[in-house]
Amino acid sequence: MEMKWENVTFVRVDADIVDNLIDKQESNETVLSKEETEKLKELFTLQIPELHVTTEVKGLSVDAAPVVATRPEFMRRMKDMGAAGGGMTAFYAQMPDEVTLTVNGNHPIYQSLLKETNDEIKTKQVRNLADLALLSQGLLKGAELTNYINRTVEMMQKETLTA
């Protein structure tokens, strides 16, 4: 259908954050300063095996998730076709998944996260937020999933002890 109709493109509903899929003719600016935005981007720059991760900080709704993981529609289609049919598209099936982590600069959690002085706690919280976004896309597997579970339990135990 995309080839038949001009100016028509189909995308999956989870291909991008809703604010990018639906053109509302308005843009939310992040409440963070330029330095805070760069610091968040740096914190969320992660090296994850079998994933190519890019990070962006955007001003989304305060009610939106703190981090949203999305995959480019083109690569997703190529990987699906490669996994199903082989041929020339089989090459794409072997490529690592591409993921964009969109950090919601307007989410209230970042006001406290950026003020956190303990780097170990900050790193664990950032990784958990990123892992939650990846988990929502079914991209957190194997050792990475086990690490997420163990880290979450550890953080909850520490929180229970201090409460």
**Residue 17 DSSP code:** -
What pLDDT does residue 108 have? 94
What pLDDT does residue 21 have? 43
What pLDDT does residue 66 have? 95
Please tell me the distance from the alpha carbon of residue 35 to that of residue 122, in angstroms, as a whole number.
17
Determine the residue type at 32: L
Q: Are 74 and 9 a contacting pair, CB within 8 Å?
A: no
Sign of torsion over alpha carbons 147, 153, 65, 39:
negative
pTM here? 0.74
What pLDDT does residue 124 have? 94
Helices 119-136 and 142-162 cross at an angle (nearest 10°) of 130
4: tokens are 């038949």
Can you give the pLDDT of all 163 residues of the chain as single tens digits? 566 777 766 665 555 554 444 444 455 688 889 999 999 999 999 888 778 899 999 999 888 999 999 887 766 666 666 667 666 655 555 666 788 999 999 999 999 999 999 999 999 999 999 999 999 988 888 999 999 999 999 988 887 777 6
What pLDDT does residue 160 have? 76
37: tokens are 């935005």
Beta bridge partners of 67: 103
| CATH architecture group of domain 18-162 | Up-down Bundle (1.20)
* Residue 27 phi, psi dihedral angles, 5° rounding: -135, 135
Q: Where are the alpha helices (DSSP H) in the chain?
A: 18-21, 34-43, 73-85, 90-93, 109-115, 119-136, 142-162
